[in-house]
Chains A and B, each alone.
Chain A
Amino acid sequence: MARHPIRTVVLGIALLAIPWIFPHRYFLQVTGLGLIYAVLALGLQLLVGSAGQLSIGHAAFYGTGAYTSAILAMKLGVPVEAAFLGSGVVAALLGLTLVPILRLRGNELAVATLGFGVIVHAVMLNEEWLTEGPFGIMKIPPFRLGPLVFDTEFRFYYVALAVVAGTYVAFRRLTRSRFGRALEAIRQNEEAARTSGINPLVYKSKVFVIAAFTAGLAGALFAHLNRYLNPNDFTLAESINILVMVVVGGLRRLEGAVAGALIIVFASEYLRAFKEYRMILFGALVVLFVALGAEGLPGLPGKVVALMRRWIGPAARRRAGELGDG
């Protein structure tokens, strides 16, 4: 995007103008949620799309961040700004404890991260002294930055947008550096990466910690947007939901993760109008996107053109043949 400064400026102005053009509370609430999921999906994109490490436990870091920020701010009286950063740090430390299982590959790693997610959820549910258990934590203060209090959906939008933009720029720099090249090498051929002098365990550990850190920040955003936390916000289904966003947006490209998050959040919210058919439509939508393969949404135009060629091509020839017969 640095090569297209005009496009970047136009996109930036458009993003900043959205709450002024569409000032509806419900829309902004959904958009804020979509931006939180964009941060989560970006982290998982780095993990799955770049490094090829399949994790089905991302909600564990998300939830850890959310609870950390709420507990720090409410029980320990830490300023919200510091609690926000603290949530990333605590989630990253939790990610560090996963280093021993990073020797596992593919499906084994996926199952291990799944188990990890279940454990963290169980802690949220049962350690009532810390998390209030199934009742959840209520009356969480809004996000603030010095004298600025982001207590409306309108204001919160800008906080979430800043975190998404920061995460996106940081990850873009990472993926385009020596670090990103090492992740790509590990995903595409781990043995060739190792014999080229790369220690995969070091890079897998770093990428897990980075993904956990950003998921922790997303959790803190959620805590201060929703103002109420409950363990059921951070279940296995949530981890899978984030993974679906990454797949829908297309593995590989960071933009895809942001698009996937917004599509899934908006689809599941606005499909509510279809009541009990909602999940059927949602499922069909996901199947459609997954059928697009690793390219995800960005691959759609190419696939449509290829399909049209296949269907229209022979039909046109048949018509030409009929004309010839006539």
Chain B
Amino acid sequence: MANNGLLIAEGLSKRFGGLAALEGVGLAIAPGEVRGLIGPNGAGKTTLVNILSGVLAPTAGSIRFAGHEIGGAPPHQVARRGIRRTFQTLRIFPEMSVLGNVAVGYHAHTRAEVLDALLKTRRLRREEAETQAKAREALAFAGLAVDPEIPAGALAYGQQRLLEIARALVADPKLLLLDEPAAGMNPAECDHLLGLIRRVQSRAITLLIIEHRMDLIMEACDRITVLNYGRNLAEGTPAEIQAHPAVIEAYLGQQQRA
């Protein structure tokens, strides 16, 4: 599997000063897979997603994605390679329209620049029509049935989460990283999210999902990677992970402390 993986990360470490957030973490995801990433608070899950998406540069280690080394590449290059993400703490463009937010996700697929805008070239008009169409399609795919012209900041919290997913999906990524997509969602929205994850999977988009809601993770994922204290703790199918003694200890141990 190491050779035909879509994403192969090896020996990833990240230090913040003296603090090691990640220590030699490895991760191999096969194309088309839905992978869960779990672990107690502070295990390094978000740090790992930040490194995979280029937001943070790893202190050590390598990331091969679709045959290219992307470790330490800036986020806009990683995005152009086909890795898109959402954020645990929402990062929408609140003053922009809902449609505009999704259109930003399509930026890398278009080329019209300053001169095209000044001269209103045919390329600009063609690309803009394409962008609008793709953005509407992504909104429909994500199941976000709101007026696309209202400012994104006016959406409810769960809708803003779907908007972030639509913004990532419009780029037709190879790998989609979801950082706690269900946070702040009510049960009905969670069901909708699960359905959306299934539909994303059926589009042959590979997923890596961080989530604290075990019911969602166990239901949605093919395999699960467990991190603890910045290291790999376990990996396996949902059934294997639920029965894994080290995983149970890590979670129960945390509960006892709490």
Q: Which residues of A contact B (CB under 8 A)?
A: 170, 173-174, 176-182, 184-185, 188-189, 191-200, 206, 210, 252
Contacts and interface: CB of A to CB of B under 8 A. Distances in A.
Contacts of A210: 114
B79 A184 contact: no
B82 to A, nearest CB: 10
Given A173-B120, A196-B105, A198-B76, A178 B110 contact: yes
B114 A182 contact: no
A188 B96 CA distance: 8
Given A184-B96, A188-B94, A192-B93, 11 more contacts: A173-B120, A184-B93, A185-B96, A185-B104, A191-B55, A193-B104, A194-B74, A195-B85, A197-B79, A199-B74, A199-B76
A174 B104 contact: no
Contacts of A170: 118
Contact of A195 (B53, B96, B124): B53
Nearest to A179: B117
Given A188-B95, A195-B55, A197-B80, A177 B117 contact: yes
Given A184-B95, A189-B93, A199-B74, A177 B104 contact: no
A157 to B, nearest CB: 25
A195 B113 contact: no
B69 interface: no
A189 B91 contact: yes
Nearest to B102: A196
B117 A180 contact: yes
Contact of A182 (B104, B124, B127): B104
Contacts, number: 103
B183 to A, nearest CB: 17
Nearest to B116: A177
B75 A195 contact: yes
A297 B101 CA distance: 27
Contacts of B74: 194, 199
Given A195-B54, A196-B104, A196-B107, A206 B114 contact: yes
A210 B94 CA distance: 26
B91 A191 contact: yes
14 contacts: A173-B118, A179-B112, A180-B117, A184-B96, A185-B104, A185-B107, A188-B94, A188-B96, A192-B104, A193-B104, A196-B76, A196-B167, A197-B171, A252-B95
Contacts of A178: 107, 110, 112-113, 116-117, 124, 127-128, 131
B20 interface: no
Interface in B54-83: 54-55, 74-76, 78-80
A188 B87 CA distance: 15
Nearest to A194: B75
A299 to B, nearest CB: 14
Interface size class of B (residues with CB under 8 A): 35 or more
A83 to B, nearest CB: 23
A179 B131 CA distance: 13
Interface of B: 53-55, 74-76, 78-80, 84-85, 87, 91-96, 100, 103-105, 107-108, 110, 112-114, 116-118, 120, 124, 127-128, 131, 167, 171
A179 B107 CA distance: 9
A195 B105 CA distance: 9
B132 to A, nearest CB: 11
B235 to A, nearest CB: 26
A195 B114 contact: no
A177 B84 contact: no
Contacts of B53: 195
A189 B127 contact: no
Nearest to B108: A197
Contacts of A191: 55, 75, 87, 91
A103 B55 CA distance: 15
B171 A174 contact: no
A39 to B, nearest CB: 16
Contact of B93 (A176, A185, A252): A185
B124 A184 contact: no
A179 B114 contact: yes
Chain B CB count within 10 A is highest, among A198, A206, A210, for A198
A180 B113 CA distance: 9
Contacts of B104: 181-182, 185, 192-193, 196, 198
Contacts of A194: 54-55, 74-76, 79
A75 to B, nearest CB: 32
A200 B100 CA distance: 17
Nearest to A185: B104
Contacts of B76: 194-200
A179 B128 CA distance: 11
B124 A188 contact: no
B86 to A, nearest CB: 9
B7 to A, nearest CB: 16
Interface pairs A-B: 9 shortest CB-CB = A197-B108, A177-B117, A192-B91, A197-B79, A188-B93, A194-B75, A199-B76, A185-B104, A189-B91
Contacts of B103: 181
A195 B78 CA distance: 8
A188 B55 CA distance: 17
Nearest to B87: A192
Given A181-B104, A188-B94, A189-B93, A196 B79 contact: yes
